Amino acid sequence: MVKMNRQTSLDKISTVDTWDIIIIGGGATGMGIALDATTRGLKTLLVEKGDLANGTSSRSTKLVHGGVRYLKQFHFKLVFEAIKERKIILKNAPHLSSALPFIIPIYSYFNMLYYGIGLFLYEMLAGWGSNIGRTTLLSRKSTINNLPFIKTKNLKGGILYYDAQFNDSQLCIDIAATATNNDATIINYFECADFIKSNEKVIGIQGVDRLSQKKYTIKGKNIINATGVFSDTILQMDDPKKSSIIKPSKGVHLVFNDPGKTLTKYALMSPIKQDDRVIFVIPWMGKLLVGTTDTPIEKITTEPAASMEDVAYLLYLYNSLSENKIDKNSVVSMFAGLRPLIKLSDEDATALISREHSILTSASGIITIAGGKWTTYRKMAEDVMELVIANQKLPNSKCKTEYISVDISAVKNKTIESYILSDKSLAEKIHPAFSFTKAQVVYAIQHEMAMTIEDVLARRIRLLFLDAKAAIEAAKEVAKIFVNYANKEDEQMKEQMVAFEKIANKYLLN
């Protein structure tokens, strides 16, 4: 039984005098810390101002990867650590992650040697323990067989290597459910609006329930800032003079229906000469994901959107690799996310900034963790908790998360089946072109803290990311389920539908 319920969390806030840990931010980083802290037996509260994983953690390329391209920058330790974490995610979340074969198409013998050596090294770094597939040189013929859309002129062959892919926001939600089942208190739509201090040290937060506007004063022994690109806002809430540590960069993905013979089980990875980046073309949940851009930005927003330049750039890259040309009419969804990169200096191009994480402790005692990547969320959490324990003399304890499964699929499927047994109509689909059922929506509302149509369609069921138009069409069905299963008023749901359509339009090109 998954115990996650927003009202229960709200009620629990007032029953605890002082929390051992208060985590601000419900993305991958914060959720990893919540699971780590609670399974060490600490009184753990996580507050998220929007929905769980609504920030960068639902907008990734959906790869669990060692970061093969960091080898070029000789970041061996970073790659080694990420490969180990890749294996742990595959073990602890097998329901949401799987190994994925990648092919780099090769157009010169020099590149065959260059990338071949790099990828054999990548496999070696995984060693016996973390290896998930053999790196292999492919002939021209088998490269074309496996990637039937690939440009054939001058093609010499390919290199096959392995990484993994996952469902990012759903993993965050399942980590939240596992943390809740282990006694953590997790709450969405609950903002840290200010800090409470004593002798210049932070001793708690002022929280605001964004659904009722009720204010809460919450005391905590340790306050963790895990707000990703919003880290500076929190740091400056504590000390207005604090200079910024985040250098945000926008990454855009396009989602396509199969434009011909493109969709195979193989993903394509290809280095882009002109800007030291790579392009990914990845089969994901029956669609094709193409990404990503890397554009430094000034303004951080909760709903970053793709620009026409982003779209044109990705179409150009895809078409320069493919015999099957696509245009903007083939785009069924697109999404943008902000990388919480740690600032080096203004001259550094964001593509070259290491994704390694940093942990800072402010004079008032707030611990900020930022940077890193989804793949290393568990290790980032362990590092923070080791620091917290060393700093604050909380009882010493060992990190257990390497051995904690977050696979709650058996319980989830059983609950969904039981809904359908008691009401056959819940087996109906919410959209004719997709297999998602009404019962899944009920589950999202009752056990995954979905409060809005967008929470359901963007981060539980991924329809908004898979096909934005279909998501708009399904919104009415989802609204009806909120009325029937969450006691929402028709009027309220009409407002939500308008709000959802406005957001969904940002995922649509036309």
User: Which residue from 50, 105, 204, 365 is in contact with ligand FAD, where contact means CB under 6 A?
Assistant: 50
Q: Kindly state the tokens that stand for 114.
A: 């260059």
Among 49-57, 94-102, 122-130, 468-476, which window interacts with ligand FAD (CB under 6 A)? 49-57
Transcribe 289-342 into DSSP letters: EEE---EE-S---SS----HHHHHHHHHHHHHHBSS---GGGEEEEEEEEEEEE
User: Which residue from 2, 4, 9, 26 is in contact with ligand FAD, where contact means CB under 6 A?
Assistant: 26
- Contact track, ligand FAD, 200-239, x by CB under 6 A: --------------------------xxxxx---x-----
Within a 10 A sphere around the Cβ of 481, how many other Cβ atoms? 22
Transcribe 40-97 into DSSP letters: TT--EEEE-SSSTT-SGGGSS--EE---GGGGGGT-HHHHHHHHHHHHHHHHH-TTTE
Residues between 241 and 300 with contacts to ligand FAD, criterion CB under 6 A = 251, 292
Query: How big is the site for ligand FAD, counted in residues (CB under 6 A)?
Result: 39
User: Which residue from 9, 21, 22, 25 is in contact with ligand FAD, where contact means CB under 6 A?
Assistant: 25
**What phi and psi values does residue 406 have, to the nearest 5 degrees?**
-110, 15
Residues between 438 and 477 with contacts to ligand FAD, criterion CB under 6 A = none
User: Which residue from 114, 156, 191, 360 is in contact with ligand FAD, where contact means CB under 6 A?
Assistant: 191
- Contact track, ligand FAD, 144-183, x by CB under 6 A: ----------------------------------------
User: Which residue from 20, 21, 29, 282 is in contact with ligand FAD, where contact means CB under 6 A?
Assistant: 29
Closer residue to ligand FAD (CB): 144 or 385: 385
Segments of 107-155 assigned E as strands: 136-139
User: Which residue from 43, 62, 95, 438 is in contact with ligand FAD, where contact means CB under 6 A?
Assistant: 62
Among 12-20, 131-139, 255-263, 335-343, which window interacts with ligand FAD (CB under 6 A)? 335-343
**Cα 177 to Cα 185: distance, rounded to the nearest angstrom:** 10
Min dist. Cβ of residue 374 to ligand FAD (A): 3
Among 22-30, 144-152, 384-392, 423-431, which window interacts with ligand FAD (CB under 6 A)? 22-30
Q: Kindly state the tokens that stand for 348.
A: 């550094």
Closer residue to ligand FAD (CB): 331 or 442: 331
State the first-to-last Cα distance of the chain, in angstroms, to the nearest integer: 42
24 in contact with ligand FAD (CB under 6 A): yes
Among 19-27, 147-155, 415-423, 439-447, which window interacts with ligand FAD (CB under 6 A)? 19-27
Among the listed residues 373, 287, 283, the one whose alpha carbon sits nearest the alpha carbon of residue 102: 283
188 in contact with ligand FAD (CB under 6 A): no
Among the listed residues 378, 390, 259, the one whose alpha carbon sits nearest the alpha carbon of residue 315: 259
Alpha helices in 423-459 (DSSP H): 438-447, 453-454
Within a 10 A sphere around the Cβ of 291, how many other Cβ atoms? 28
Transcribe 332-356 into DSSP letters: EEEEEEEEEEEP--TTS-GGGS---
User: Which residue from 105, 158, 365, 372 is in contact with ligand FAD, where contact means CB under 6 A?
Assistant: 372
28 in contact with ligand FAD (CB under 6 A): yes
- CB-based contact 487:451 (threshold 8 Å): no
375 in contact with ligand FAD (CB under 6 A): yes
54 in contact with ligand FAD (CB under 6 A): yes
**What phi and psi values does residue 211 have, to the nearest 5 degrees?**
-90, -30
Q: Where along the sequence are the contacts to ligand FAD (CB under 6 A)? A: 24-30, 47-50, 54-57, 59-63, 65, 191-192, 226-230, 234, 251, 292, 337-340, 372-375
